């Protein structure tokens, strides 16, 4: 009996196609719609077809399921982020055009920013940096202390000093 005539193992593409219905259910549980699940399957198949020749997969169905899951999670994350920026309106006619701020309000805003910038420029460099790292970059006082090589307590005082200096600009921001 010749052992060299063993049946060839199916390719990942063949396993994928043979188990398409099961993979569709896996994708649909994550992305929630059949249309998106179809897109996920198409992308997953293309990933498998592109990379199949370089991999020796012991459990091809499990591997296909994992690829489908990963692609589905990518779709889900993408659509979740996109949905936060999307707005819907029943009647486009009811949407008011963006209002142009009055020139005097724009000028007031620019003057306030210039005043804030002058106050920050007058601060010691480390105090200004501590304030900017905290307020603009969202770093904690402990993180800033490590970065600047000082204690979190000193960072706290530097931020309070910057706040006190900026108090003189508060009337500009609040509109007088």
pLDDT at 68 over 90: yes
Please tell me which residue, 12 or 91, carries the higher pLDDT value. 12
Task: Tell me the per-residue pLDDT of 84-139, one tens digit each, with 9 for 90 and over.
Answer: 766 555 555 555 555 556 666 666 778 778 888 888 899 999 999 999 899 888 88
Q: Are 136 and 128 in contact (CB under 8 A)?
A: no
Average pLDDT of the residues in 13-17: 89
Nearest to 148 by CA among 128, 164, 162, 167: 128
Task: List the domains of the chain with CATH numbers.
Answer: 11-85 (1.10.1740.10), 103-173 (1.10.10.10)
Q: Whole-number mean pLDDT of the chain?
A: 82
pLDDT band at 28 (very low <50, low <70, confident <90, very high): very high
- Residue 57 has what pLDDT? 81
Q: Which range is least confidently modeled, 15-24, 55-64, 102-111, 158-167?
A: 102-111
Task: Tell me the per-residue pLDDT of 151-174, one tens digit each, with 9 for 90 and over.
Answer: 999 999 999 998 888 887 776 665
Please tell me which residue, 10 or 54, carries the higher pLDDT value. 10
């Amino acid at each position: 009996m010749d052992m060299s005539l063993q049946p060839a193992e199916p390719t990942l593409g063949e396993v994928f196609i043979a188990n398409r219905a099961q993979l569709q259910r896996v994708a649909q549980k994550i992305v929630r719609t059949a249309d998106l699940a179809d897109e996920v399957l198409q992308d997953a198949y293309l990933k498998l077809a592109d990379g199949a020749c370089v991999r020796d997969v012991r459990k091809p169905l499990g591997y296909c399921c994992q690829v489908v899951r990963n692609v589905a999670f990518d779709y889900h994350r993408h659509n979740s982020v996109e949905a936060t920026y999307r707005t819907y309106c029943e009647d486009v006619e009811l949407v008011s055009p963006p209002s142009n701020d009055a020139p005097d309000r724009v000028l007031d805003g620019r003057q306030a920013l210039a005043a804030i910038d002058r106050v920050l420029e007058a601060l010691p460099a480390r105090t200004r940096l501590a304030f900017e790292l905290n307020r603009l970059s969202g770093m904690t006082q402990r993180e800033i202390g490590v970065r600047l090589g000082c204690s979190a307590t000193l960072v706290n005082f530097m931020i309070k000093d910057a706040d006190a200096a900026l108090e003189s600009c508060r009337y500009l921001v609040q509109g007088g």
